Amino acid sequence: MSAESREALRLLFSAWQAGRLYSAEHPQFKALVEKAYEQLTTLLSTKSEWTIALIGDDIVCDEETLYDLQEKMRLFSQGLKERSSERISFCAGLKKEELLRFLAFVALPQKRSEQDLAEFFHLEGVRHIKAGRLTAARAQEESVAAPVLSLSYQDSLRAVASFIAALNRGEEVSSLDLHYMVLSIQENFSGRYWQLLEVWPSLAPEEKLFSHLVNTALLVMTAATRLGFPRDDVLDLGLAGLCHDIGKLSPLGLGTFFGESHMLAGAKMLLRFKNLISPLPAIVALEHHLRFDLKGQPKLKGIDQPHEASLLVSVSNVYDNLLRKWAFDPRFDPLFIYHLMMAEKGKVFAPDWLESFFGVMGVWPEGSTVLLSDERKGLVCRNNENLPLQPQVEVIGPEGAHEVIDLSKEKGKIAILKAINPFSA
């Protein structure tokens, strides 16, 4: 495939990511659309049509399968498929406004059907772009099939592995790529943390560290979102959470970097890219085991307390690590972990961040199956802010009848006795 086609594909990918992260009015999105349009115009000066096709995990362009771009563009491929755009053709005569409108449309967070695309092309007067499914049969099959969580989770784990491998090789990484990766984690798994725990035992050993990185990023972003942080700050915190243990995957082996701890290893690795990535992930990688009282590792001089981002990531990191111990130790249910962590308030954890975390996330994660004091089972469907022990629970009664009970309004008559272990379910 020609260098011009590869550049066009790269620019389309970057413009689409910018549209997903920001908006159609954002200067970065418009600038990338402009560059992509110029590249497409050059390509279409010598041919009537230029087509991208997504076949399985493969990207096909100019009738050539781009195996070397498969990992880098996995999330791009997944996002386009979710928006019924497995085949996209750009035709001679393409106008810049058509390209901008199309990319803005497929960058919207909602999944899109082929009918949605057809209506968009008709209403917006787009005549020089064609997009849709590869086959009607496949479209029908996917319209009725439920998404497989484990597959999308493993896609995210592969994307994280690819990013870390690129860092280890010293390759340049794109801030746009990284923020889109954490946005995908937030959008794909928001409210599904408990389901991710159910997937964990089936993961390969090398995938389990990546899963901890993804889970920590998800917990950080969920808490920050519910605490009202701006979207850009949420994504920055998510990226810091995703990178906090990156030193464990340094080129010199688990937890080492010239004989130093994985905290120093991670910070050094990330600081090599300080012109491409903000310093926040490096700071968090260095400080996430420092403790609020500064008695942790590594020993740092000249600071009064860890960075605020480090304190929030620390809570999420420890919470995920403790909850996964439940797979091996029956003591580590959510209520035990809550009391264990609260006992370290003001020592390991910053009081405000610890209380805020449980205040918005609750003791029992949404989606967890719990046993109530009246011997009924239910699903935690919503946590009541600042009432971590009294969430709303959807109870399945006789003959499948559903009832939502708000434990904050039960005045102690009904309470949660325990959660059902997802690792042994």
Can you give the CATH number for the domain in which 280 is found? 1.10.3210.10
The last residue of one of the domains, among 111, 144, 177, is: 144
Classify 136 as helix, strand or coil: helix
Supply the range of the domain harboring residue 129: 3-144
- The type of residue at 61 is C
Our CA dihedral for 255, 258, 260, 264, rounded to 10 degrees, sits at -80
- Given the DSSP bridges, would you call strands 416-419 and 49-55 parallel, antiparallel or unpaired? unpaired
Q: Are residues 186 and 128 in the same domain?
A: no
Distances (CA, A) of 237 to 114, 246, 425: 35, 15, 32
User: How many structural domains does the chain have?
Assistant: 3
Do residues 255 and 248 touch, judged by C-beta distance below 8 A? yes
Task: State the Cα angle at 94 between 138 and 41, rounded to 5°.
Answer: 110
Q: Are residues 423 and 292 in the same domain?
A: no
Q: Are residues 138 and 155 in the same domain?
A: no
Nearest CA to 72 out of 181, 153, 169 is that of 181
Q: pTM for the full model?
A: 0.81
Name the burial class of residue 265, with classes exposed (0-12), middle (13-18) and buried (19+) by CB atoms within 10 angstroms of its CB.
Answer: buried
In terms of phi and psi (left: phi > 0; alpha: psi -120 to 50; beta: otherwise), the region of 76 is alpha
Do residues 408 and 380 touch, judged by C-beta distance below 8 A? no
350 assigned to some structural domain: no
Classify 26 as helix, strand or coil: coil
End-to-end Cα separation, the chain, in angstroms: 49
Our CA dihedral for 74, 78, 83, 84, rounded to 10 degrees, sits at 100
Tell me how far apart the alpha carbons of residues 227 and 335 are, in angstroms, rounded to a whole number.
22
Nearest CA to 181 out of 114, 240, 133 is that of 240
pLDDT in tens, the chain (425 residues): 678 888 999 899 999 989 988 888 899 999 999 999 999 999 999 889 999 888 877 888 877 777 777 777 777 788 888 888 889 999 999 999 999 999 999 888 877 788 888 888 888 889 999 998 876 434 344 443 434 676 688 888 988 998 888 888 888 888 888 888 999 899 889 889 999 998 988 898 889 999 999 999 999 999 999 999 998 999 999 999 999 999 988 765 444 444 468 899 899 989 988 888 889 999 999 999 999 999 998 988 888 899 999 999 999 999 999 999 999 999 999 999 999 999 999 999 999 999 999 999 999 999 999 999 998 999 999 999 999 999 999 997 766 667 899 999 998 899 999 999 998 85
Residue 207: partners with Cβ closer than 8 Å, 6 or more residues away: 154, 157
Q: Are residues 68 and 7 in the same domain?
A: yes
Counting other chains too, the contacts that 224-228 makes at CB distance below 8 Å and 24 or more residues apart are 224/312, 225/186, 226/360, 226/361, 226/385, 227/356, 227/360
Q: Residue 296 has what DSSP assignment? A: S
Q: Are residues 215 and 285 in the same domain?
A: yes
356 assigned to some structural domain: no
